[in-house]
Amino acid sequence: MKSYQGKTVYITGGSSGIGLAAAKQFAGAGANVVIISRDRKKLDAALPAIQAAKATDGQKFLTVQLDVGNHADVDAKMTATARSFGTPDVLVNCAGGVWCNYIEQTPYEAYEQEMRTNFFGVRNMVTALMPFMKERGGNIVNVSSTLGFIGVFGYAAYAPSKFAIIGFSEVIRAELKQHNIKISILCPPDTDTPQLAEENLTKPPETRAISGNAGLLQPEQVAAAMIKGMEHNRFMIVPGFMNKVSWLAKRWVPGFLFSFMDSDAKKAQKKSQTPNPKP
């Protein structure tokens, strides 16, 4: 990891999981770090852990309590933060939430909520900070998911919000290139975080069987892969061996990938004898 001394890094979702692991790694490399999320208690609990990882005494740290889905609040608070704390050299859009269940058990509100946080959250942060970042360039990493390139059983609300991040990132990659702002997309597989624990509470057996093939990463591994990929200006960052295999399979042999997943779902249905419920 290169030195980030004198650089400023903003991380949404920096109070937990992958975002928190990234915040600690950037702090360890000398960066000034801003973490952004909704729950004040989680922000206050995360801050000392990030400060403890710092490389020098001169580094600055800040927490901003914010719902990334609220565009007016994002505009106001990010403008004020960029003016008072400093323009980001790196923006990591990691805030996200998940809904995992059968489509019959996925209400309209879940789709709205997923799009609001996962997609509009990225859009709101990028548009609020872009005018500042255009002045000297930098990096933006948008956190999507394996579910951003494969639609898997059980993720009717989550997957579209993560697919949307990829479309948006392709557009801003082209538009912000002239301002020397480089875009990356991180697509983590299952990672051992509070989000995964929450998702496991409602995960259908079919989903469990399919995702069981992909292995489990630790948030520190995902954060390290993200930073390395970003430093190499990689557009798609796909951590984990099985995740990379899935990425290649979706690109080159999607029919094979779908039949593999369908067979896992079928086996799980037979085993649990609780097939996908009829409406």
Ligand X SMILES: NC(=O)c1ccc[n+]([C@@H]2O[C@H](COP(=O)([O-])OP(=O)(O)OC[C@H]3O[C@@H](n4cnc5c(N)ncnc54)[C@H](OP(=O)(O)O)[C@@H]3O)[C@@H](O)[C@H]2O)c1
Q: By CB under 6 A, is residue 69 in contact with ligand X?
A: yes
Q: By CB under 6 A, is residue 190 in contact with ligand X?
A: yes
Size of the site for ligand X (CB under 6 A): 32
Q: By CB under 6 A, is residue 75 in contact with ligand X?
A: no
Span interacting with ligand X, options 63-71, 84-92, 103-111, 170-178, rule CB under 6 A = 63-71
Residues 87-126 that bind ligand X (CB under 6 A): 94-98, 117, 121
Name which position in 7, 8, 9, 15 contacts ligand X (CB under 6 A).
15
What is the closest distance, in whole angstroms, from the C-beta atom of residue 125 to ligand X in the complex? 9
- Helix (H), strand (E) counts: the chain: 11, 7
Which entry of 15, 16, 37, 144 is annotated as an active-site residue?
A: 144
Which entry of 54, 158, 182, 184 is annotated as an active-site residue?
A: 158
What is the closest distance, in whole angstroms, from the C-beta atom of residue 204 to ligand X in the complex? 16
Structure-token pair, residue 155: 């993720």
> Which residue, 23 or 31, is less far from ligand X as judged by CB?
23
E strands along the chain, which residues? 8-12, 32-37, 61-65, 90-93, 138-143, 181-186, 236-237
Name which position in 48, 194, 212, 215 contacts ligand X (CB under 6 A).
194
> Which residue, 5 or 183, is less far from ligand X as judged by CB?
183
> Which residue, 189 or 205, is less far from ligand X as judged by CB?
189
Matching residue, tokens 């901003």:
64
Three-state DSSP class for residue 143: strand
C-beta separation of 166 from 122 below 8 A: no
CA distances from 169 to 166, 177, 188, 230, 246 (A): 5, 12, 16, 14, 20
Name which position in 27, 47, 64, 68 contacts ligand X (CB under 6 A).
68
Span interacting with ligand X, options 52-60, 62-70, 99-107, 174-182, rule CB under 6 A = 62-70
CA-derived radius of gyration, the chain = 19
278 catalytic? Reply is no
Structure-token pair, residue 77: 């608070």
111 catalytic? Reply is no
Burial 193-220 (b: 16+ CB within 10 A, else e): bebbeebeeebbbbbbbbbeebeebebb
Span interacting with ligand X, options 37-45, 52-60, 172-180, 245-253, rule CB under 6 A = 37-45
192 exposure class (CB count in 10 Å sphere: 0-12, 13-18, 19+): middle
Cα–Cα dist 111/159, whole Å: 10
Helix (H) or strand (E) holding 255: helix 254-272
Which residue from 89, 37, 96 is spatially nearest to 62, judged by alpha carbons? 37
Q: By CB under 6 A, is residue 38 in contact with ligand X?
A: yes
158 catalytic? Reply is yes
β-pair partners for 183: 140
Span interacting with ligand X, options 101-109, 185-193, 227-235, 257-265, rule CB under 6 A = 185-193
Provide the annotated active-site residues.
Answer: 144, 158, 162
Which residues of this protein are in contact with ligand X, per CB under 6 A?
12-13, 15-19, 37-39, 42, 66-69, 94-98, 117, 121, 143, 145, 188, 190-191, 193-196, 219
